[in-house]
């Protein structure tokens, strides 16, 4: 290398390091070390040198934050580690109930001395960032927790996310989780600009942040100045043993970590922290709706594990929903895909918990009678769980004269069929399976991501198909052709071709997704998976008895009866025959069947609880062996427990198992059991 080139390389390295330090000081420490004009001048010098010597450009250079070309689309990727959502608590009593629940799963002594980490719950979008040898290589949205979208190009524009970790010896691989959010002043600036341009305003900072992250052009993302708080670290072979240590490690690595975090020595300290920020949060420069409480000790976190949906060792303690008064302009009813008729209050628009609200649920006729709500009333509304707007009470002293009590309709507003109120239900239902409202809901559900995942078949297209009498059932989708739909509003030949290909492709979706897509009441995606593991075809399931359905782990009497009722309807039987005819997967394929059959071991469907210290296996190893053999390990003894795996120094679980007559196994018994497979 020539001497002058060596000098250029040194200068580029110096500039890069200086600008990275300046970024860290400005965006993370909030303590600038240089004037903006100086930063701009050094940045321009680095940019010019890299343009003259492109071989010197590296991915971690400050000039590489914003890509030159917009992305054509985002690629879906599977998370290395699932991003679980958090269980919610809405008051301090529910926080104490959470503590009581996780303690039942713990063998640890001195549970009253457990430390907790409190962090403000930021109202933004969760991201997962992967660093290889200290360099950012991938950034993914949370998505559904299992699969997200690769938006690395956009994530690189966020100045509080380091492109290179501030570590001398970074680990080979590290994953960082956190929340991307839009500061309130930036949210106001963006909406002001959109208003001046005549564009629709963002409803709240959270939606604006989520929409910004999914922009195909990273230059737009860069202009919106998102921020990022890091809060979770996944790092193998590390001496970090607690959440508090992780947060400090993240900050030392170059991330912005919320400065208001606190290490609490008791649940009383957590309660004090929660009360302190209930009012103080209103002065923060970003939106927050609660406090995330985590058990600090990683070993205890690992021992507690997860439920099907949540980590047992963390909870989101939410602040009370914001309330606001408004006026009821009308009361309407909506008909859902199950035929449920839900009354809704249409109101004068009001700003509530960061969004503009115009409709609120009234739940059912009993709730309407209880409220005595009428058109023209002034009402107080809030967001249940800060998500669904609902009417809390009516200010009857402000009621206009001559108002009339509201009466629910006796006929379906969509098809004019007589509405029925089933016994022991508070909901009116349309029982006409040909009702357009039920059909619309069924088709939207059928095409949803967790069901058949038919891209392009959203609610707008579904309505057009129904209004143009092109579909009268789910099966009709599979008789559509590009020629039949190309003339629909805003469709076109290319979109028509793509939609038909997506519909045709859905025939390859597995039986479990088809079953979920049928929309049987109470049968969610998890239950659909359980059912297809135990009933290998739709014919087996349709003929299953109440007892055999209830024998499936996770299926109770209510679900079992709902399945039986669904298959007893002739129109549903006809639909299954039509779906068979067009080629949907209504049974486990041979490869899936082999997988299921091979998983039927002596432990299949058996529930274990482990207590005490085993001779050679640690608890994680024993749990892995049981689960690989088809068993399930839980943390507490109940009537549903099949076996207690017993080690030395067993505690109260042994006493309870003896009381319930539960079979006890030693480690040797378990290993012998597994050898008989």
Binding-site positions read 36-40, 85-86, 119, 142, 179, 294, 318, 412, 415, 430, 435
Span between the terminal Cα atoms of the chain, in Å: 66
Binding-site positions for Zn(2+) read 412, 415, 430, 435
> Is residue 69 flagged as an active site residue?
no
Residue by residue, DSSP assigns 89-126 as: E-SHHHHHHHHHHHHTT---S-GGG--EEEEEEESSEE
Hey, what's the torsion of the CAs at 387, 389, 390, 393, to 10 degrees?
120
Only one residue has tokens 């939106």, namely: 287
How many whole angstroms separate alpha carbon 150 and alpha carbon 493? 29
How many whole angstroms separate alpha carbon 512 and alpha carbon 541? 12
DSSP 201: P
Binding-site positions for NAD(+) read 36-40, 85-86, 119, 142, 179, 294, 318
Helix or strand or coil: residue 347? strand
Own/partner pairs, 103-107, CB within 8 angstroms, 24+ separation: 104/635, 104/636, 105/303, 105/304, 105/305, 105/312, 105/635, 105/636, 106/300, 106/303, 106/304, 106/635, 107/303, 107/611, 107/651
Give whole-number Cα distances, 433 to 438, 474, 543, 671, in Å: 7, 12, 22, 53
H or E element: which one contains 288? strand 288-295
Supply 53's token pair: 């010597």
Residue by residue, DSSP assigns 217-240 as: -HHHHHHTT-EEEEEEEE-SS---
Closest CA to 512 of 533, 495, 498, 481: 533
* Phi, psi dihedrals of residue 69, rounded to the nearest 5°: -115, 140
Supply 550's token pair: 């209830």
How many whole angstroms separate alpha carbon 472 and alpha carbon 466? 7
How many residues are there in the chain?
677
H or E element: which one contains 6? helix 3-23
Among 99, 108, 121, 197, which one carries the catalytic annotation? 121
Query: Annotated catalytic sites, by residue?
Result: 121
């Amino acid at each position: 290398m020539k001497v002058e080139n060596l000098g250029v390389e040194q200068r580029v390295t110096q500039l890069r390091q200086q600008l990275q330090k300046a970024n860290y000081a400005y965006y993370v420490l909030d303590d600038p070390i240089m004037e903006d004009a100086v930063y701009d001048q050094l940045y321009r010098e680095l940019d010019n040198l890299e343009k003259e010597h492109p071989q010197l450009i590296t991915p971690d250079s400050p000039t590489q934050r914003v890509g030159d070309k917009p992305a054509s689309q985002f690629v879906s990727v599977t998370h290395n580690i699932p991003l679980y959502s958090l269980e919610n608590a809405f008051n301090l009593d529910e926080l104490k109930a959470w503590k009581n629940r996780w303690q039942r799963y713990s063998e640890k002594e001195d549970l009253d001395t457990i430390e907790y980490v409190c962090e403000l719950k930021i109202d933004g979008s969760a991201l997962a960032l992967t660093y290889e040898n200290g360099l950012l290589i991938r950034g993914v949205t949370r998505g559904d927790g299992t699969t997200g979208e690769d938006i690395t190009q956009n994530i690189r524009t966020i100045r509080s996310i380091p492109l290179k970790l501030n570590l001398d010896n970074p680990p080979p691989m590290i994953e960082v989780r956190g929340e991307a959010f839009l500061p309130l002043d930036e949210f106001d600036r963006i909406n002001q600009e959109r208003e001046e341009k005549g564009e629709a305003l963002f409803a709240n900072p959270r939606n604006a942040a989520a929409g910004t992250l999914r922009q195909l052009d990273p230059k737009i993302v860069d202009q919106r100045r998102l921020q990022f708080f890091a809060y979770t670290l996944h790092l193998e072979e590390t001496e970090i043993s607690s959440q508090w240590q992780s947060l400090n490690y993240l900050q030392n690595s170059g991330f912005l970590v919320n400065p208001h975090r606190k290490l609490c020595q008791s649940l009383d300290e957590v309660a004090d922290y929660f009360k302190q920020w209930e009012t103080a949060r209103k002065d923060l420069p970003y939106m927050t709706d609660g406090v995330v409480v985590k058990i600090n000790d990683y070993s205890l976190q690992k021992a507690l594990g997860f439920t099907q949906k949540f980590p047992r060792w963390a909870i989101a303690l939410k602040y009370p929903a914001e309330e606001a008064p408004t006026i009821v302009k009308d009361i309407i009813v909506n008909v859902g895909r199950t035929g449920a008729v839900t009354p809704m209050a249409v109101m004068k628009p009001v700003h509530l918990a960061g969004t503009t609200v115009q409709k609120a649920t009234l739940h059912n006729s009993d709730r309407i009678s209880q409220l005595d709500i009428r058109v023209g009333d002034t009402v107080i509304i809030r967001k249940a769980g800060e998500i669904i707007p609902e009417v809390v009470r009516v200010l009857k002293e402000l009621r206009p004269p001559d108002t009339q009590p509201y009466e629910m309709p006796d006929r379906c507003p969509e098809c004019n069929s007589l509405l029925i109120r089933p016994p022991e239900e508070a909901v009116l239902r349309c029982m006409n399976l040909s009702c357009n409202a039920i059909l619309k809901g069924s088709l939207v559900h059928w095409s949803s991501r967790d069901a058949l995942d038919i891209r392009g078949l959203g609610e707008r297209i579904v309505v057009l198909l129904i209004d143009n009498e092109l579909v009268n059932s789910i099966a009709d989708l599979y008789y559509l052709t590009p020629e039949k739909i190309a003339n629909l509003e805003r469709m076109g030949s290319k979109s028509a071709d793509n939609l038909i290909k997506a519909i045709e492709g859905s025939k390859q979706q597995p039986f479990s997704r088809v079953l979920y897509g049928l929309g049987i009441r109470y049968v969610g995606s998890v239950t659909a998976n359980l059912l297809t593991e135990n009933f290998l075809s739709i014919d087996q399931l349709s003929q299953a008895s109440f007892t055999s359905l209830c024998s499936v782990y996770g299926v109770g009497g209510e679900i079992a009866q709902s399945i039986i009722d669904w298959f007893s309807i002739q129109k549903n039987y006809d639909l299954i025959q039509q779906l068979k005819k067009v080629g949907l997967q209504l049974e486990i394929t041979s490869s899936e069947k082999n997988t299921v059959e091979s998983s039927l071991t002596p432990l299949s469907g058996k529930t274990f609880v482990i207590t005490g210290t085993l001779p050679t296996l640690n608890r994680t190893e024993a749990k892995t062996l049981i689960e690989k053999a088809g068993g399930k390990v839980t943390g507490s003894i109940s009537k549903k427990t099949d076996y207690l795996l017993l080690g030395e120094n067993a505690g109260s679980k042994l006493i309870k198992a003896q009381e319930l007559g539960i079979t006890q196994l030693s480690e040797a018994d378990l290993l012998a059991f597994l050898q008989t497979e």
